[in-house]
Amino acid sequence: MTGGEYRESLRRRQPLKIYFQGEALEHPLDHPLVVASVNSAALTYELAGDARHRELATATSALTGRTISRFTHLHQSAEDLIRKVRLLRLLGQKCGTCFQRCVGLDGLNAVFAATFAIDRKQGTGYHRRFVEFLKQAEAADWMIAGCMTDVKGERRKRPHQQADPDLYLRVVARRADGLVIRGAKAHQTGAVNSHQLLVMPTVAMQAQDRDYAVCCAVPADAEGLVYIYGRQGSDLRKLDCSEAGCIDCGNWRYGGQECLVIFDDVFVPAERVFMDGEHEFTGALVESFAGYHRQSYGGCKVGMGDVIIGAAACIAEYNGAEGAAHIREKLVEMIQLNETLYGCGIACSALGQPTPAGNYLIDLLLANVTKQNVTRFPFEIARLLQDIAGGLIGTLPSAHDLASPQTGPYLQKYLRAAPGVSVESRVRMLRLIENFTLGRAAVSYLTESMHGAGSPQAQRIMLARLADLEDKKRLARELAGIKD
């Protein structure tokens, strides 16, 4: 699809039940908050149609041989995994926020391998079903929301031990023609902008959690789905932004999106059920999905980092401080941190290996290192950006004051800094910086860096498990000449 066709396709869905600030949105696709997030997701379609980016944004389908979006592609090589990271960096550079389509891509690759493993061990027919779903996804160029994170209730308890059994999504009825599921998925990136929701379990399950071990797909407009739109810092600036280009938004064109998605007894036809009760396979599915998404952050956050470093360099110029040695030093530090994240994203891709199902999986240990670094470096990069920008990012008067005949002349006089730089340019750059570190994009650049694809501790558990400490001890003993 082109970007325009993608937007049109969203309008062809049945009306979605979307709530924001306690009210149902009657025309959600025209709501300024939603428009900005659709704009970001639409970029993934626009790039695929752009000859300069086709190599990154499209791929050759392993299922049909057709040219498809890379966002519906089963990775066929380590090179494919590297291209994905490069594509995500490019998209992050273009929109400066979350473009929302990678979760579905990561889910497709993880479920492809998981259904293959279940069928091989248990003789089920999930993989064939999933391949049919994937063929449709490729042909229709669907945007797929990957729905993993349950709300999880009391954290120390397993799904079946919770006081309310719906705190993890579960099967509440099995019918001859399919399943009925109930629960809620939190922080659902791009859910409102998607065509399909790919539901996956959120933790490794045990036998008593059988009803929670469910993986399936439902259309985003399925009966029983309720979307409660998440707030982001300064989100309402978008509402008093009367014309495109509103200065105070910082980044008026693009925004991210996360919702709490309620599955209020949603029917799933049998051909869209990819796991029902096979709890032994949930751990591997969660690990590979999380691994792919941890790799993703070595791309998207780096692209946003590129814009941030550019903003830091610009505002230093606009303030007339670009020649200072400490500014140059801080910019170099930001570059070093940002490229380290990229290096990790590329490394875990380059060491990717084929799964038994035939698609490629990243190196899990290095993908977890990537994301662990992402929980730290963007915060340091953002700190340096705020340092270079100066205190005005916290005290800047509004665009209305700039336009007002009473206050505008004062601001024109007293906010002037480097010669040849207009006050408006300086204000616009400061607003972009505010957007990244305190406003809407701070969710994408900071909160997601911390918690997206799993909170820091989730990676540390994986690092401890995957690092083979016994082998490292053996190496030390050998060199020290210890025989026993």
- Would you count residue 235 as binding Fe ion (CB under 5 A)? no
Among 296, 213, 307, 205, smallest CA distance to 253 is for 307
Among candidates 371, 289, 295, 349, which has minimal Cα distance to 80?
349
H or E element at residue 120: helix 102-122
CB 149, min distance to ligand SF4, A: 12
| Stretch binding Fe ion (CB under 5 A), from 176-184, 230-238, 317-325, 440-448 | 440-448
- For position 452 contacting ligand SF4 by CB under 6 A, the verdict is yes
Neighbours of 410 (CB within 10 A): 12
Active site residue 348: no
Catalytic residue (one of 97, 115, 189, 282): 189
Q: Tell me which of ligand SF4, Fe ion, none is bound by residue 39, counting a contact when its beta carbon lies within the kind-specific cut-off of 5 to 8 angstroms.
A: none
What is the Cα–Cα distance from 370 to 339, expressed in whole angstroms?
Answer: 11
How do the residues of the chain divide into helix, strand and coil, expressed in percent and rounded to 5?
A: 55, 15, 30
Question: CA–CA separation, 293 vs 123, rounded Å?
Answer: 29
Compute the distance between CA of residue 188 and CA of residue 107 in angstroms, rounded to an integer: 13
Residue 460 three-state SS: helix
Residues 125, 126, 130: CA angle, nearest 5 degrees: 130
* Least distance in angstroms from the C-beta of 93 to ligand SF4: 12
Tell which positions 444-463 bind Fe ion, by CB under 5 A.
448, 452
Q: Which of 377, 340, 384 is nearest to 456 (CA)?
A: 377
User: What kind and span of H or E run contains 20?
Assistant: strand 17-20
**Contact yes or no for 361/352 (Cβ under 8 A):** yes
String of contacts with ligand SF4 for each residue 248-287, x by CB under 6 A = ----------------------------------------
What are the CB-based long-range contacts (under 8 Å, 24+) for 233-242?
233/438, 233/439, 233/440, 233/442, 233/443, 234/434, 234/435, 234/438, 234/439, 234/440, 235/33, 235/440, 237/439, 238/32, 238/33, 238/36, 238/440, 239/32, 239/33, 241/32
Q: Give Cα 4 to chain centroid, integer Å.
A: 22
- Per CB under 6 A, the list member of 69, 189, 232, 459 interacting with ligand SF4 is 189
- When the beta carbons of 439 and 452 are compared against Fe ion, the nearer one is 452
Known active-site residue 300: yes
- Residue 99 found at the interface with ligand SF4 (CB under 6 A): yes
Which residue of 58, 69, 72, 100 would you call a contact of ligand SF4, by CB under 6 A?
Answer: 100
Q: Which is nearer to ligand SF4, 141 or 448 (CB)?
A: 448
Binding of ligand SF4 by 216 (CB under 6 A): no
**Residue 99 binds which of ligand SF4, Fe ion, none (CB < 5-8 A, kind-dependent):** ligand SF4
Q: How far is the CB of 124 from Fe ion (least distance, A)?
A: 31
Active site residue 126: no
Specify the amino acid at residue 454: G
| Residue 299 touching Fe ion (CB under 5 A) | no
Which three-class secondary structure state does DSSP give residue 26?
Answer: coil
User: Which of 46, 138, 258, 317 is an active site residue?
Assistant: 258
The DSSP output letter for 226 is E
Contact residues for 128 (Cβ-Cβ < 8 A; gap 6+): 119
Binding-site partner at residue 296 among Fe ion, ligand SF4, none, CB < 5 to 8 Å by type: ligand SF4
**Closest to ligand SF4 by CB, 118 or 302:** 302
Q: Are 202 and 232 in contact (CB under 8 A)?
A: no
- Distance separating alpha carbons of residues 94 and 300, to the nearest angstrom: 10
Regarding 296 and contact with ligand SF4 (CB under 6 A), the answer is yes
344 in catalytic set:
no
Catalytic residue among 293, 314, 375, 434: 293
Q: Which two tokens stand for residue 248?
A: 């105070």
Please tell me whether residue 103 binds ligand SF4 under the rule CB under 6 A: yes
Catalytic residue among 95, 102, 249, 348: 102
DSSP state of 443: I
For residue 228, the SS3 value is: strand
Q: Which residue is catalytic, options 297, 342, 360, 445?
A: 297
Among 38, 43, 102, 366, the residue binding ligand SF4 under the rule CB under 6 A is 102
Residue 249 annotated to the active site: no
When asked if residue 147 is in the footprint of ligand SF4 (CB under 6 A), the reply is no
| Known active-site residue 98 | yes
Q: Which is nearer to Fe ion, 150 or 448 (CB)?
A: 448
The footprint of ligand SF4 on residues 351-410 (CB under 6 A) is: none
Residue number with CB closer to ligand SF4 (346 or 396):
346
Contacts with ligand SF4 by CB under 6 A lie at: 88, 98-100, 102-103, 189, 296-297, 300, 448, 452
Contacts with Fe ion by CB under 5 A lie at: 448, 452
Active site residues: 98, 102, 189, 258, 293, 297, 300, 448
